[in-house]
A and B are shown apart, each in its own frame.
Chain A
Amino acid sequence: MLEALTWLLLALAALFFSAGTLGLLRLPDTLSRIHALTKADNLGLGLAALALLLHAESWAAAAQIGLIWLLALAASATSGYLIARRCLLESHGTPASTLGAPPPGAPPP
């Protein structure tokens, strides 16, 4: 029973990872590739982490897997945002001085 569930989870994870890579290769421009990479790959990672959680050798190991998944999620989301933003700004030729809010404590322009 546990085995069947694990196989299912891994198969789904494989599907999502492949979808992500396919998107990276076939989608037309950089911004859509970021989507494919960040979202599909992370879902695949979550499913795979779940499958591995079920067979972890200890509770500590299971917790570590969970932590790694959360960190990878946050890292991917942030990377996607940063790269996409940089990509957008450069393609529109906007100077970087308009990026984001002024630093906290700085006088307003």
Chain B
Amino acid sequence: METLPPTIPLALSLFALLLVLNLALGLLRVLRGPGLTDRLLAAQLLGSTGVALLLTLAALQGWPSLRDVALVFALLGLLAAVAYARLRAEQHRA
């Protein structure tokens, strides 16, 4: 499992490009999204697409550290959603 088979880097690059296109399109929802929640959803999109992109780049560029970044992405995506949900709960309570 040392080096990648010949056509795989191309597949990974195309996949990475598609993921970034998804990111860019997701930003449309960020900009338009009529409510605060829609914008947070776009942030979640960035999180999950980011994880996929980081895993792909880790294989493509050969940097295992990027998987650690993906781990942190997943954890902190959760923190953002939790903070959002619980903060709004507080606000309604006040």
Q: Do A and B come from one complex?
A: yes
A interface list, Cβ under 8 A from B: 2-3, 6-7, 10, 13-14, 17-18, 20-21, 24-25, 30, 33-34, 37, 41-42, 44-45, 48-49, 52, 55-58, 61, 64-65, 67-68, 71-72, 74-76, 78-79, 82-83, 85-87, 89-90, 95-97, 99
A85→B84 CA distance, assembly (Å): 11
Q: How many residues of B contact A (CB 8 A)?
A: 54
Contact call B71/A71, Cβ cutoff below 8 A: yes
A41→B22 CA distance, assembly (Å): 11
Closest to B87 in A: A86
Contact call A96/B22, Cβ cutoff below 8 A: no
Contact of A24 among B2, B45, B55 (CB under 8 A): B45
Q: A30 — which chain B residues lie within 8 A by C-beta? A: 35, 37-38, 41
A33→B29 CA distance, assembly (Å): 10
Decide: A17 near B93, CB < 8 A? Known: A24-B42, A48-B56, A64-B67.
Answer: no
Question: Would you give the shortest CB distance from B72 to chain A, in whole angstroms?
Answer: 10
- Extra 20 A-B pairs, beta carbons < 8 Å, given A25-B28, A75-B47: A6-B5, A17-B19, A20-B45, A21-B22, A30-B37, A30-B38, A37-B44, A44-B52, A57-B62, A64-B67, A68-B70, A68-B71, A71-B75, A72-B48, A74-B78, A75-B81, A76-B44, A79-B82, A87-B37, A90-B92
Q: A42 — which chain B residues lie within 8 A by C-beta? A: 48
